[in-house]
Amino acid sequence: MKKHMRYLLRRVLRENCLAESRARSLIKREKSNRRESERLQEVYLHRSLSRAVHVIPAYSSLIGKIPSKSVKQFVIDNFPIIDKTRLLSDRASFFPHDGIARPWWSVGRTSGTSGTPVDIFRDYNSAIWEHAFHLQHWSWAGFEKNARQIVLRGDLVVPPEQDRPPYWYLDPFGRQLILSTRHINNASIGYFAAAINAYGATQLRAYPSAAYELSRLAESHDLSLRFKSIITGSETLFPAHRDEITRVLGGPVFDFYGMAERVAFGGECEFGRMHIHPEYSFVEIVDSHGKPTEEEGFIVGTSFHNLAMPLIRYRLDDSAKWSRTACPCGRSYPTVERILGRIGDTLLDLDGRPVSPTIITFAFKGVSNLARSQVAQTERDHWEIRVVPTASYSDQDGDMLVQNMKRLVSSRLNISLKLVPSIENLPSGKYKWISQEV
């Protein structure tokens, strides 16, 4: 009953007809010319800054000084770049309302994967906007109003200790079957596959790690699961995992880029290009000195829609590079080359050099019978591959994986393989595929 209430409220308050109508107008404008979106950006930016100077103490000296023209240049010239460390260390200056959330605000938390989490206060209207941007992106992936979705993300829909199906929740208000990511394993995959197929959804929304795991398990148990499109986001999607997901589950995959701070939103279109949404926020890409760059640089964003706590020129840990070629899809939004970062952990080889997680995924290509896996650095000179085997696993599979690591990833590694009964998710339901434990 409580669960029903939660999803009903979500539907009424956030995922409502206002969000739908906003999404429709976003879609209507998405192919209009660049000048129109730049004009809108100026309007939104002006509103955000005007609010920020009144509610964020650090900016109070700029009250009355926000110009109505060339606002972008003004923000660059007058507002410093801030980051998570700054928010954490100087709460008095960068939080509204003395750092205490008002009862009608919601509080978002950044995931703690890359250090300490930070609270972000959000107003109600921004939550409706957030859903509108997602609806628009879903539409790029072929979603139509009232279509059914399978959801495989962080939702806590089943108590962790539950050991028999159903491991899912049918949300009657949002037309989605929400699966418990935490319960998918060798023993339960058959139940999951039956439930997914019986529900008859054409779209899957998932954490990349969960979609990858679903595809691995479906394949090793010879179960057929096919979707018309798959929407991933909230974690890094590794290219090798994307290939595996589309090969087994259908697709294509439409990855989106977003974060709890909500200072940037990107979505892949049908041409696989990542568009940065100009109506969501003002995004800059800057070098290590904070200057704009055409090379790979840090993503800095200024939120447009959260007036409870406008984040101005907030630097993320992620990096990207502008792409200056137009996308064949015809949308006027700028695009970036692949967004890097949010990787969280980095493993080092015997020489202390970082090894890209994307490269590590290569070792798993062609290796079967793994229900779940994790690569961890347990000592300065030692990596451990943890594997939850499927029933048909043999030593050959493990040997191949270890050999692939040396052959395809780096010869400067000291690796062992460990078979384990399970590998736990983080409390958020996200899954740490690469784990630095030294």
Rule CB under 5 A: which residues touch Zn ion?
A: 269, 271, 273, 327, 329
- Nearest 5°: the CA angle 292, 296, 302 is 50
Question: Do 75 and 302 touch, CB atoms closer than 8 A?
Answer: yes
Output the 3-class SS for 125-193. HHHHHHHHHHHHHHHHCCCCCCCCEEEECCCCCCCCCCCCCCCEEEECCCCEEEECHHHCCCCCHHHHH
Could you give the CA distance from residue 389 to residue 66 in angstroms, rounded to a whole number? Answer: 60
For Zn ion, give the closer residue by CB, 275 or 313.
275
For Zn ion, give the closer residue by CB, 173 or 271.
271
CB of 73 to Zn ion, least distance (A): 28
For Zn ion, give the closer residue by CB, 177 or 283.
283
CB of 270 to Zn ion, least distance (A): 7
For Zn ion, give the closer residue by CB, 108 or 252.
252
For Zn ion, give the closer residue by CB, 273 or 277.
273
CB of 331 to Zn ion, least distance (A): 5
Tell me the torsion sign for CA atoms 228, 331, 279, 28: negative
CB of 274 to Zn ion, least distance (A): 9
CB of 328 to Zn ion, least distance (A): 7
Could you give the CA distance from residue 189 to residue 195 in angstroms, rounded to a whole number? Answer: 10
For Zn ion, give the closer residue by CB, 119 or 270.
270
CB of 321 to Zn ion, least distance (A): 17
CB of 168 to Zn ion, least distance (A): 33
Among 115, 110, 135, which Cα is nearest to 234's? 110
CB of 34 to Zn ion, least distance (A): 14
Could you give the CA distance from residue 130 to residue 79 in angstroms, rounded to a whole number? Answer: 25
CB of 336 to Zn ion, least distance (A): 12
For Zn ion, give the closer residue by CB, 272 or 427.
272
For Zn ion, give the closer residue by CB, 214 or 339.
339
CB of 299 to Zn ion, least distance (A): 19
Could you give the CA distance from residue 115 to residue 84 in angstroms, rounded to a whole number? Answer: 10
Q: In which residue are the tokens 């690591």 written?
A: 405
Q: In which residue are the tokens 């923000």 written?
A: 75
For Zn ion, give the closer residue by CB, 329 or 348.
329
For Zn ion, give the closer residue by CB, 168 or 333.
333
Could you give the CA distance from residue 248 to residue 226 in angstroms, rounded to a whole number? Answer: 8
Question: Do 243 and 236 touch, CB atoms closer than 8 A?
Answer: no
